[in-house]
Structure 1
Amino acid sequence: MEPIDDLVGRLGRWSAGRGPLFLLLATRLRQLIDDGVLPPGALLPPDRRLAGALAVGRTTVVAAYDTLRQEGRVVRRQGSGTRVAPAVPTPGPRVAETSNPLFLHLLDAPDDVILLSCAAPLGPPPELTRAYATMTLPADDLGYHPAGLGALRTAIAGRYRSQGVATVPEQILVTTGAQQALSLLTRLLVAPGDGVLLEAPTYPGALDLFREASAGLLPVAVGPDGLDVDAALRLMERHRPVLAYVVSCYQNPTGAVLPPLKGRRLVERAAALGVPLVDDEVLADLTLPGGDGPAPSPLAAYEGGSGEGGVIGVGSLSKVVWGGLRVGWIRGPQPLIARLARLKAVHDLGSDVPAQLAAVRLLAGFAPVQAARTRALRTGHDHLRAELGRLLPSWTCPPAAGGQTLWVRLPYGDGVSFAQVALRHGVAVLPGRTMDALGGSGPYLRLHFLLGPEALTEAVRRLARAWEEYEPQPAAPHAVAPGAVPAIVV
């Protein structure tokens, strides 16, 4: 049986909604089961014990358990207690499609909707255009490089060495963007039911991958200083997850930065426990000018020695250069990279060669490209915060030190229900709850600041009109709707 304190913590604000308490409790337990946080066969606390821990009547817990029993999610037997029902394999792919409106907008974005949900630069920089215009393709090459072009692996390894991380080209796998990097790692390392530690909230593209793999999610709350390292280490010691996924620098979506001392402690304890630590570094190059100084080193810098430890770095050029340049990478121990290269070969035989050649050129003169991008981000960041302060002064909107997004808190209500109203007014926003496996972040929105000043002003005007319509409504329930599927977004 999972310790009752752990279960109560995972239930979170389960009662913060409208309707009978037993239905709210059943809703939250249903999500924990469907997300794999409560795996098949897990023994749930007895009725009276859980009722006492939650300060509710025993009949509330009994009714919630019975609701889940009727749905086939739990099994209740006299003398053996209440258990999560065994997983029933189904034929075909686990996820055939998504019905999430945001993902559909990415597939076919309406012309009249401003997307403040998809955080990606609009259009390539001139350096990328020149790189393609002056490119010479190899004349005596098959074009299949499952691990990536040697020149690009060498360039990426050099970037890590410049950050104090000992790296050789054989520790680099070139991928078709960071999303493929995470997908390959998930496919290789995670089997159905395996525990995966992750932040709450977190990058929703990773959350989707872990759910699609039927992983048992072990979410840990994120605060102003990033991941709650103490809580993460307790979960690691108790559950020994097959991997831990963190965004240590400019955390997506909160923008938090994990302090170096906490990062070092996380790396050292994860290594001692044998838990691979995936550090998503995609946003680490986006330090806003005029802030608190350069971004901290990647977590791999705390391994020391040869850099062949348990930290796995994931990077990409999509945020500094352009989302259409599908070049990402994984940095890790050589045996892992070799296994990943074989897996990648099965899927695509290697990433696009012209894109990799362009990436080599860009990395050779990366500083001006990066500087231009971060200057534009600073302008957008300041303009969006100013417009939100002018037109929506009741919203809480702290500044960001880096990255591309603001983590905005509504004064009341729920981000999911407000996002529906906002969409009717022609602006798409990303609700916090879609990124939070703990079921929290209900009052939050993630808004990017990558558009020009005029577009950002118009977006905030639309949000203000939506808020005028939404404001008289009572706060929506904080319980997560059953069956909700977060979108794959960037």
Structure 2
Amino acid sequence: MSPIPATELAARLGRWSAGRGPLYLLLAARLRALIDDGELPPGTGLPTDRALAVALSAGRTTVVAAYDLLRDEGRLLRRQGSGTWVAGAAPAQASTAEPTTSPVFLHLLDQPDHVTQFACAGPLTPPAALRAAYRRALDDVGDGLGYHPAGHPRLRRALAGRYGASPGEFLVTTGGQQALSLLTRALTAPGDEVVVQAPTYPGMLEVLREHAAVAVPVPADGSGFAAALALRPAFGYLIAACHNPTGRHLAEPRRREIVAAALREDVPLVVDDVLAELAFDGPLSVMKGVIVVGSLSKVVWGGLRVGWVHAPAPLINRLARLKAVHDLGSGVLDQLAASHLVGDLTALAAARALSLRRRHDHLCAELRERLPSWTFEAASGGQTLWVRLPYGDAAAYAQAALRHGVAVLPGGQLDPTGGSHDRLRLPFVASPADITAAVLALAQAWQGYSGERVPVPLPAIAV
């Protein structure tokens, strides 16, 4: 088996250069952690010094020094003409070793000192309504075991009232991420195919990898989605409104086409509506006959780990059994607070969308002024812009940006086709002053970026 690709290893290394001290020591420390944690098992072949240096936008001497240090520690083996591999197996054995896949989530959520978080998107400050909701929730806590695998009855009733459905059609989850994980576990077996947009929400790609499901990508604008459903995948995963990462909406005719195909082919269609409330021009029409995933994390606060699945009651009952095995049910106090917030969700979402629109416009203006060679299409809602670099590799540039104190998410980590290497996902959730400071740092990193300057074709942006 060939060595692990340099771009893949760079993604696993994450924010390796965010600390203090010589770069080669920081790189060696991160490689050491991957080896010791088993993410780079014995026999795994590593990229050449030169290839990894290019992927990390670092000097070759940095990589050589890090490799040599780990060789001296006995963690790596290096031979002239034979390459570099993790100690514990001979090169011949390394050819059969299967490297593990490291999730990008830990790199997104981890916030090292001295680094501005410009990779993960979500409200940075809880609203006053959240504190008020928790105060009310404390008065609502009653007696009993407190285990509600399907969700606290009060929250399920609140959700049913908001969406005009039965409480039995809702499962409360620990955030939207758990909802996606439970659905994937219920609907797939290892090797099953799932239709997704490319690019798409990286957390869903992590879930598919975790469950050994195969992502079948179609363009982000939904073209080809209906045709892919005709091949009878395990399910389809669609972000129709405020698409993550492009911030665009699916056209209404395309939405109807995809739903009709799912119903005709009897293929479950999971619609991720976690961001749907954040459309700049008001909410879009609700898609009927689909499985909907929702959450309060983007409208209220990520620390409020409350999400839900809206689906037919038989599927909800099945998911509740899976959740009972998983955690016996989400926290009661969180759910009681959420039950109060759901009643005010329209007003909360409208205020959040207005704030995001202003910050979106500010980020667009800053990018046009300070990085005019970068191109993008304005978002219609959500929290992120999908930006194209005029040359080079976004993963390598992300390493350069990190050394200027800003963490950004390269597009390759959101694209199951293996493409989008010229893209960055940039959020507009921070204050205008923080956005300005981040763009200034990105511009400084771009000025010093020494990536391979290969012109990139500029076709129309997929939305």
The TM-score bracket by the shorter chain reads 0.7 to 0.9
> Are the aligned partners of 2:226 and 2:258 in contact in 1 as well (CA < 8 Å)?
yes
Pair 1:232 & 2:203 matched:
no
In 2: Cα distance, 1:352 partner to 1:155 partner: 16
Q: 1:361 to 1:266 in 2, by over 3 A?
A: same
Query: Deviation per CA, 1:80-116, whole angstroms, max 9, x where unpaired?
Result: xxxxxxxx9xxxxx96x8375x723623x11211111
Uncovered stretches (5+) of structure 2, i.e. residues with no partner: 9-93, 458-463
Same amino acid, percent of matched pairs: 50
> Are the aligned partners of 2:103 and 2:206 in contact in 1 as well (CA < 8 Å)?
no
> Are the aligned partners of 2:393 and 2:451 in contact in 1 as well (CA < 8 Å)?
no
Deviation at 1:72, TM superposition (A): 5.5
Deviation at 1:71, TM superposition (A): 4.7
Instruction: Tell me which residue corresponds to 1:308.
Output: none
> Are the aligned partners of 1:204 and 1:434 in contact in 2 as well (CA < 8 Å)?
yes
In 1: Cα distance, 2:184 partner to 2:262 partner: 18
> Are the aligned partners of 1:260 and 1:296 in contact in 2 as well (CA < 8 Å)?
no
Matching residue within 91, 116, 119 for 1:117? 119
Comparing both chains, which one has the higher relative contact order based on Cα–Cα distances under 8 Å and sequence gaps of 6 or more?
A: 1
Matching residue within 308, 313, 318 for 1:339? 318
Deviation at 1:261, TM superposition (A): 1.7
In 1: Cα distance, 2:349 partner to 2:215 partner: 35
Deviation at 1:139, TM superposition (A): 2.7
Pair 1:255 & 2:258 matched:
no
Q: 1:169 to 1:440 in 2, by over 3 A?
A: same
Aligned residues: 371
Instruction: Tell me which residue corresponds to 1:153.
Output: 156
Letter in 2 for 1:404: Q
In 2: Cα distance, 1:425 partner to 1:379 partner: 26
Instruction: Tell me which residue corresponds to 1:298.
Output: 286
In 2: Cα distance, 1:99 partner to 1:286 partner: 27
Query: Deviation per CA, 1:180-211, whole angstroms, max 9, x where unpaired?
Result: 00010111111111111111101000001101
| 1:428 alignment partner, SS class | strand
In 1: Cα distance, 2:451 partner to 2:320 partner: 55
> Are the aligned partners of 2:230 and 2:261 in contact in 1 as well (CA < 8 Å)?
no
Pair 1:394 & 2:373 matched:
yes
TM-score by structure 1 length? 0.71
Runs of 4+ in 1 over 4 A off after TM superposition: 70-73
In 2: Cα distance, 1:200 partner to 1:244 partner: 13
Deviation at 1:233, TM superposition (A): 2.5
Instruction: Tell me which residue corresponds to 1:140.
Output: 143
| 1:429 alignment partner, SS class | strand
Q: 1:159 to 1:137 in 2, by over 3 A?
A: closer
Letter in 2 for 1:137: D
Q: 1:413 to 1:155 in 2, by over 3 A?
A: same
Q: 1:395 to 1:471 in 2, by over 3 A?
A: farther
Q: How does 1:430-441 map to 2 (within 5 A)?
A: 430-441=409-420
> Are the aligned partners of 2:388 and 2:423 in contact in 1 as well (CA < 8 Å)?
yes
Letter in 2 for 1:451: A
> Are the aligned partners of 1:283 and 1:403 in contact in 2 as well (CA < 8 Å)?
yes
Letter in 2 for 1:235: A
In 2: Cα distance, 1:475 partner to 1:418 partner: 14
Deviation at 1:342, TM superposition (A): 0.7
In 2: Cα distance, 1:160 partner to 1:227 partner: 25
Matching residue within 195, 205, 213 for 1:207? 205
In 2: Cα distance, 1:455 partner to 1:394 partner: 22
RMSD of aligned C-alpha atoms?
2.7
In 2: Cα distance, 1:204 partner to 1:406 partner: 15
> Are the aligned partners of 2:226 and 2:257 in contact in 1 as well (CA < 8 Å)?
no
| 1:445 alignment partner, SS class | strand
Uncovered stretches (5+) of structure 1, i.e. residues with no partner: 1-22, 31-69, 74-87, 89-93, 162-166, 304-310, 479-490
Deviation at 1:446, TM superposition (A): 0.4
Q: How does 1:291-330 map to 2 (within 5 A)?
A: 293-300=281-288, 303=289, 311-330=290-309
In 1: Cα distance, 2:216 partner to 2:451 partner: 37
| 2:277 alignment partner, SS class | coil
Letter in 1 for 2:128: P
| 1:227 alignment partner, SS class | coil
Instruction: Tell me which residue corresponds to 1:275.
Output: 267
Pair 1:179 & 2:177 matched:
yes
